[in-house]
Structure 1
Amino acid sequence: MAGGLDEVEVAVVGAGPAGSVAAETAARLGAEVVLIERKREIGSPVQCGGFLPEIEELEGLLPKAKIPEALADLPEGLVLHRTRVQRICSPSGRSKEFSVLGRVIDRRSFDRHLAWRAARAGARVLVGVRAELQEGRLHLSGRASGTMDAEVVIGADGPGSATARGAGLAARGEVGVCLEYEMAGVDIDPAAAEMYFGTASAPGGYAWIIPLGEDVANVGVGTRPPYLLGRGLREVLDSFISEHPIAKEKLQEGSVTAVMRGLVPAGGMPPAIQRGNVLLAGDAAGMVMATSGGGIPLAMVGGRAAGEVAARYIGGEAALQEYPEWIAEEMGRELANSVRIREVVDGMMKSDRLMDALFGILPPDQMKAIMRGQIPKALERVGDLMASR
């Protein structure tokens, strides 16, 4: 391969938040690192996402996790807007809210910033390069071609990870789909990130309004294909904007200035996230809260753990088999709980009446706990009732 990179200590596939943090972490710990990204421009196109809880909220979400420096020390220039409240709207239109301090970030610039950090730490970045793992060797094509042998391969290449397939790591398979518009000229509450539930507005998922400023917002919907019942995702989102009794008053005069779409793992982590010399992180490892689809902080925590284990393995200080144990300790309970919560709620999402009933018995503090992957007593009782039906 051109450039003398036919052998490397750590190869990271995918330069999203998980991959870039993994590359930075391993490089800072002294490993020789190559970060490989199939896109020619890191961070583009944006594939949904952009809401990040403030650091104190993250510490409540993942109390046992080591928060990466890149997440804790976010440059102010990457923050487009801040919110103070999370508001949840039931199918009947009733709303409840609770305090959540959040940052809405410029995802394109954010992803680029993380890749820059990896490069400054010593990682070599290859863009416009596809990497396929075949029989333990990476085959590269695009702006760089040839084969690469790596002592450790970190697969951070998103849902349906090719690295996972190449390593024989089974994916959990269930994937959510999201479509999001950036809209200007809307009449929103700039302090509140809003979630809307209902079979018409967001079958099997939820719709959202996330402010980017006083009159600009990301407006989207996320669900899973079986719940669409033949409807297109664009049809669902357009209907939410024009017909939802509450949202339409805020959105119908707005103009769409950008369209973003993406896939989100919806089934939790697969049975294994490490095999041989391959570690999976971020969306490739299902590190997404099934209750909300939020994954940026978890991806970065997972990337940090993968990079650290990889570098320590290279230095003879750790075994790669320790990686799943690190992840289980730092976020395993929250991820597992989020899947369990989603499974309980799944049984109710086909009925607006049941969703309204669930909404009625959950006070705001328990709603916040659910978003953090905690299972309150009221939801446990609902789960028991649904299981006995």
Structure 2
Amino acid sequence: MVVGADGPTSRVASSLGFPKNRDSYPAVTGQAEGDFEPIMEMHFGSLAPGAYAWVLPKAQGANVGVGCAPRLSDGKVTEYYDIFLKQRDLTVKGRPVGKLVPSNGPIRRTASETALLVGDAAGHVMAVNGGGVPIAMICGRLAGQAAAAHVRHGTSLKEYEREWRRQVAKPLHTALNTKRLATLFLGGRRRLEWSMGVVGARRMGKMIRCRPVFP
């Protein structure tokens, strides 16, 4: 039995013939020095085409970063990151960390008779905002339970897939549909301003929080 928890470009998944994560977004993050107000910042538009830049205050400093949609971007994500730091006058400690964030929802199949995938390897990420920790905690627990049952009782690992889809498939697919809608609005400053006027701040807020935008 193998558990693939090795990220969006999972070698476990590719070696065992699982579907690939597609349309992953690049992101860069670093740790900024200084004092910050206890307010989370999210910046949209030309600073981060198709995604957003963020400042997340911590006990000391803040986590800052930028993600972007490659097909909507004119440059590399590191270039947008440098521009964001300069505009916000932020000083970052050490080297930034780059990563890929799955943005196309869960892959079609995450379990076989001998293996299962969890976390980014399975596409268990809220596509509209890149959040994955709560979903990964739920699915990680389910994966552990399925693996234990498989070892002890010979239960099929495919029970894991059925159970995670029962518990979290709906919010994951809601986030994916919202992301597809948001992509129409977040391509640049002018498009964002037009969208805010048409959709309104309340519905844009729902997009960010992965909630259905329309009744």
Tell me the TM-score normalised to structure 2 length. 0.89
Unaligned runs of 5+ in 1: 1-151, 381-389
1:193 equivalent in alignment to 2:29: no
The percentage of aligned residue pairs carrying the same residue is 31
Structure ranking higher in helix proportion: 2
How far off is 1:368 after superposition? 5.1
1:1-389 maps to which residues of 2 (within 5 A)? 152-185=1-34, 188-189=36-37, 191-199=38-46, 201-213=47-59, 216-229=61-74, 231-243=75-87, 248=88, 252=89, 254-258=90-94, 259-316=96-153, 318-360=155-197, 361-364=199-202, 366-367=203-204, 369-377=206-214
State whether residues 281 and 302 of structure 1, in contact with CA within 8 Å, keep that contact through their aligned partners in structure 2: yes
How far off is 1:369 after superposition? 4.0
Report the Cα distance in structure 1 between the residues aligned to 2:188 and 2:93, rounded to whole angstroms: 34
* Pair 168,342 (structure 1): closer, same or farther in 2 beyond 3 Å: same
How far off is 1:178 after superposition? 0.9
How far off is 1:367 after superposition? 4.7
Report the Cα distance in structure 1 between the residues aligned to 2:167 and 2:204, rounded to whole angstroms: 22
How far off is 1:168 after superposition? 0.5
State whether residues 172 and 271 of structure 1, in contact with CA within 8 Å, keep that contact through their aligned partners in structure 2: no
* Pair 351,178 (structure 1): closer, same or farther in 2 beyond 3 Å: closer
* Pair 354,224 (structure 1): closer, same or farther in 2 beyond 3 Å: closer
* Partner deviation per Cα, 1:333-358 (whole Å, 9 max, x = no partner): 01111111111111222243332243
State whether residues 181 and 256 of structure 1, in contact with CA within 8 Å, keep that contact through their aligned partners in structure 2: yes
Question: Quick one: which amino acid aligns to residue 238 of structure 1?
Answer: D
* Pair 372,255 (structure 1): closer, same or farther in 2 beyond 3 Å: closer
Report the Cα distance in structure 1 between the residues aligned to 2:200 and 2:170, rounded to whole angstroms: 21
Structure 1 residue matching 2:71: 3-state secondary structure? helix
Unaligned runs of 5+ in 2: none
Q: Bigger radius of gyration, 1 or 2? A: 1
Report the Cα distance in structure 2 between the residues aligned to 1:374 and 1:212, rounded to whole angstroms: 26
Report the Cα distance in structure 1 between the residues aligned to 2:39 and 2:133, rounded to whole angstroms: 20
Report the Cα distance in structure 1 between the residues aligned to 2:142 and 2:208, rounded to whole angstroms: 23
Structure 2 residue matching 1:260: 3-state secondary structure? strand
Report the Cα distance in structure 1 between the residues aligned to 2:206 and 2:166, rounded to whole angstroms: 19
State whether residues 124 and 172 of structure 2, in contact with CA within 8 Å, keep that contact through their aligned partners in structure 1: yes
Report the Cα distance in structure 2 between the residues aligned to 1:172 and 1:262, rounded to whole angstroms: 14
CA RMSD between the two structures:
2.0
Question: Quick one: which amino acid aligns to residue 155 of structure 2?
Answer: A
Paired residues, what number?
A: 213
How far off is 1:286 after superposition? 0.4
How far off is 1:268 after superposition? 1.0
* Partner deviation per Cα, 1:61-104 (whole Å, 9 max, x = no partner): xxxxxxxxxxxxxxxxxxxxxxxxxxxxxxxxxxxxxxxxxxxx
* Partner deviation per Cα, 1:171-213 (whole Å, 9 max, x = no partner): 1321111111211135x32x211110012x1112100011123
* Pair 376,227 (structure 1): closer, same or farther in 2 beyond 3 Å: closer
State whether residues 175 and 266 of structure 1, in contact with CA within 8 Å, keep that contact through their aligned partners in structure 2: yes
